[in-house]
Structure 1
Amino acid sequence: MTEPGQLPEEVLVLIFCHLSLPDRAAAARVCRAWAAAATCSAVWHDTNISCDCEREGMVLPYLSSCLDHIHNLRLEFEPSREPSRQVATELLTALAGCAPGLRGLCLECRGEKPLFDAGRDVLDAVHAICSTARGLRHLDLRCLPFTLDDKLVLQVARGCPELRSLFLNNCTLVNSVGPGAVLELLEACPRLCTLGLHLASLSHTALEVLAAPDRAPFSLLALRCACPEDARAPPLPNEAWAALRHRHPGLAVEVELEPALPAESVTRVLQPAMPVAALHLCLSGDPVGSVRFAALYYAATLRVLEVRTTASAELDASLELLAARCPGLREVHCFCVVRPSVLHAFRAHCLRLRSYTLKLRREPHPWRPTLVE
C-alpha cells in the first residue's frame, strides 16, 4: 500500500522514463521506493543514452543492474573525444554480455571523426553484440562515420537471424561492404524488410533474391551514392526494378546522390521503374536533368525532394514541372534561391505538402523549413 504523499510506482515509472541518465541515477538514491521504480524494466525498455554523461563517472556503475532490461538502445557519443568514445565502447561491450534481450540498437556520432581509420574499438563492440543478440531486430549504423566491411555484415548474418531492419548507408569515404556479403545477409535473414546500403553493395542478384516469390514483404530500400565505389558500380537494370516493384507493391526507395557521383552517372542509377519515395540531390554537376527525370517517372511515388545546388532559370522550370506532376509530395527542400512562381506551384499543386524550404531571397544560414498549417 502506498504511503501518504508517496506516488504509486507505476506513476514514478512513467516519470522516470523521461529522465536523463544522471537524473535517473539521482532519483534512485532518494529512497528505496524510488530506487525500485528507477530500475524497473519498463523504465529501460526504450533507452536513450548520451555519453556526455562520462563527466559524472556513473554510466556503467549505474547501468550494471539495468542492462538486462534494455530492449532498444539509442547511443550518442563523440568519437573525437576520447572519454566519450571510451564510455560508449565499454557500455556496448558490457551490453554484449547480457544482450539476449536486446531488440534494437542505433548508434549516433556527434562532432568530427578524429582519424580516417578510427572506430575499430566501437565496431569490435558492435561485432560482440551481434554475436550474442540472437533476437536483435533493428540495427542502425547510418550515423557511424567509420568504414563498415564484409566482416561486420557476415557477423550480423550469422548472429541475428531475426533481423528486420539494417542500415549500413553511412557517411564514409570508403565502402567496404561487397555485394557477396549482402547476398549472404539476405539468405540468412529472411524477415529483413528494411535495408540501407551504399549503391556499390547492391547487385542485380540481390534484387532478384528480394523479388523471389517466397520472400517476406519488403518495404524500404535506402541507397546512398557517396563513395568512389558507388560511382563505379555497374547499373542495375530497369527490368530488375520492375520485377521487384511488382513483387512488393508497397516498396519505397530512398536515394541520396552525393558529389562523388558524376552527373553523367545519374542516369545509370535512376531507373524509371524504381519506386523512389525520397530523392536527395547534392551533385557536383547540374541536377536539372535529375529533377525532370523524377517529374516524369516518380509522379506516383515521390514524397520527399531535396536539392542542393546553385540557382538557375532551368532549375526553377524543372521544379515547377515536378510540382505539377507530383501531387503527393510531402516535403520539398531546395537550398538555393528560387523565383516566386516555384513556391506558388508547390502550394497550388501539392496539397499534401507538410514542409518546404523555398527561399525567394538570400537569408543567413542555416535555412529553416516552413511548416504548412
Structure 2
Amino acid sequence: MGEPGEQLPEEVLVLIFRHLPLRDRAAAARVCRAWAAAATCSAVWHNTNISCDCELKSMLPPYLYACLDHVHNLRLEFEPSREPSRRVATELLTALAGHTPGLRGLCLECRGEKPLFDSGRDVLDAVHALCGAARALRHLDLRRLPFTLSDTLVLQVAHGCRELRSLFLDNGTLVGSVRPSSVLELVECRCLRALGLHLASLSSTALEALAAPDRAPFELLAVRCACPEDVRAPPLPSEAWVALRRRHPWLAVELELEPALPAESVTRILQPALPVAALRLCLSGDTVGPLRFAARHYATTLRLLEVRAAASAELDAALEEVAARCTGLREVHCFCLVRPSVLHAFRAHCSRLRSYTLKLTREPHPWRPTLVA
C-alpha cells in the first residue's frame, strides 16, 4: 500500500491542514513523509489559530517552533486565570518574538476570568517583546486582553511598527492608562486606518491629526466609555468631528457606553456630527433618551445596535422609532424582552437586516440571535 499522502496532491492536503487546530496538524505530520511536508508548508501556517487550553497536552514545541517563521497572522486564545494556559501563551509569544519578524497580525483572545490581584505583567512583557521584534506588524487587536495597557506599549508600536494599519486598545480594563499624548504619536503613523480606544485616550488634537490631508483614508474609530477616566474626559468639539468626517466620508464610528457613565456624560458623548455605525448601550441610567437621539441623528449611518436594559413600554417605543428611522440596520440585539410590535417594526422597515436578538418570551441564556435568510 502506498503512503496516505500519495492519495491526494500536496496542494489539496495544504488546503485541508490549514483549517486544522494545532494538535491535529501535529498528528498529521506524524502520519507519513508526504503529510509531514504538507503540514509544515508555509501556506498552512500563514493564518494560524491556537488555543492554549486545547493544545496543552498535545502541543509539541519542536514541531511548533519550526513553523513559527511562516506565521503571518496569529489568533491566540488562553485563559489567564489558569496558570498552565497562561504560561504556554507567554512562552509562545516570547518564542514568536525570536522567530518571526514577518508577523503581520496578532489577536489575543482571553477566556474565563481575569485572576484576582494580577496585573498581567508576564503576558504584557511578552506582547512588548513581540511588538519590538515584529517590525512588519500591521494589525494588533488587544480588545480581549483584560489587563491594563500602558503608554510604553503604544509608543513602542507607534515608533517601531511603521506599517501599522489597525490597533485596538479598547479593552475591558477598569483603568484608562493610555494618555492622549501617546495616542497623538500613534496617529502620526500615516498608514493607520482603524483605531480602538477608551474615550479618555482620545483628544481633539488626535482628531485633527487624523483629518490631515496627507494621510491614508481612515476607516474605523471604535470608542469605549467604561472607566472613571472616560467619565472625566473633556468633551470633543463638534467641529473636530465635522472636519474628520469631511476628510474621510466613509469613516465609521463605533461607540460602546457602559454603566460607569452618568447621564450628563452620555449627553456629551453622543453628538450629531458623529457618523455612528455601531452603538452598544449598557447604561445604568436612561437608555430611552440615547436611543431616541440615535434614531434622530444616526439614521443614515447606524448599522449595528446592541441594547442591554430593563424591559419597559418606553424602551419598546424607542426601539420602534429606531426601526422606522434607521432603515439601514444590519444587526439589532436587545437583551431584554420586547413586545411583538418591536420585532414587526424591524422586520418591516429594515430590509437589510441580517441578524437580530428580539425575544418575545423568556428563553434560557445565552440568547442566540436569529439569522435572516
User: Same fold judged by TM-score > 0.5?
Assistant: yes
Q: SS at 2:152's partner residue?
A: helix
Structure 2 counterpart of 1:141? 142
What is the letter of the counterpart of residue 277 of structure 2? Answer: A
- Which residue does 1:6 correspond to in 2? 7
Identity between Structure 1 and Structure 2 (%)? 82
SS of equivalent residue, structure 2 residue 124: helix
Matches for 1:28-177 after TM superposition, within 5 Å? 28-56=29-57, 58-177=59-178
**In structure 2, what is the Cα distance between the partners aligned to 1:44 and 1:349?**
44
Quick one: distance in 2 between partners of 1:227 and 1:315?
Answer: 25
> For the residues of structure 1 that align with 2:267 and 2:91, how far apart are their CA atoms?
45
Maintained 8 Å contact 1:279/1:304: yes
Q: Name the CA shift for 1:56/1:314 in 2 (closer, same or farther; >3 Å).
A: same
Matches within 5 A, 1:1-373: 5-56=6-57, 58-187=59-188, 189-373=189-373
The answer to whether the 8 Å contact 1:53/1:59 transfers is no
What amino acid is aligned across from residue 326 of structure 2 in structure 1? C
CA deviation after TM superposition for structure 1 residue 369, in Å: 1.4
SS in 2 for 1:56: coil
RMSD: 1.4
State whether residues 328 and 350 of structure 2, in contact with CA within 8 Å, keep that contact through their aligned partners in structure 1: yes
* Contact persistence 1:295–1:321 (CA under 8 A): yes
Residues 40 and 180 of structure 1, relative CA distance in 2, 3 Å threshold: same
Q: Please give the alpha-carbon distance, in whole angstroms, between the structure 2 residues aligned to 1:313 and 1:219.
A: 37
- The code of the aligned residue for 1:309 comes to A
Contact preservation (8 Å) 1:54, 1:87: no
* Matched AA of 1:47: T
Give 1:30 deviation, angstroms.
1.5
- Aligned to 1:52, the other structure's residue is in SS state coil
Per the TM alignment, residue 59 of structure 1 is displaced from its structure 2 partner at its CA by 4.0
* Residue-pair matches, total: 371
Once the two structures are overlaid, the 10-residue window that deviates more, 306-315 or 201-210, is 306-315
Alpha-carbon deviation of 1:278? 0.4
**In structure 1, the residue corresponding to 2:101 is in which secondary structure?**
helix
Q: Which is worse superposed, 27-36 or 53-62?
A: 53-62
Could you report, residue by residue, the CA deviation over 1:51-97 in whole angstroms, capped at 9, with x for unpaired residues?
02453253422211100000000000010110110000000000001
Q: Output the CA distance in 2 between the equivalents of 1:167 and 1:89.
A: 20
Structure 1: 5+ residue runs without aligned partners? none
Q: Per-residue displacement from partner, 1:9-50 (whole Å, max 9, x unpaired)?
A: 111111111111111111111121111111110000000001
Instruction: State how far apart, in whole Å, the 1-side matches of 2:54 and 2:322 are.
Output: 47
Structure-2 change in CA distance of 1:12 and 1:295 (3 Å): same
Q: CA deviation at 1:145?
A: 0.4
Which residue identity is paired with 1:314? E
TM-score (norm 2): 0.97
| Unmatched tracts of structure 2, length 5 or more | none
Residues 96-123 of structure 1, C-alpha deviation per residue, up to 9 Å, x if partnerless?
A: 0123110000000001111343311111
Moved >4 Å (runs of 4+): 2-5
Question: Secondary structure at the residue paired with 2:116?
Answer: coil
Q: TM-score, normalised by structure 1?
A: 0.97
In the TM superposition, residue 290 of structure 1 has moved relative to its aligned partner by: 0.2
Alpha-carbon shift at residue 365 of structure 1 (Å): 2.0
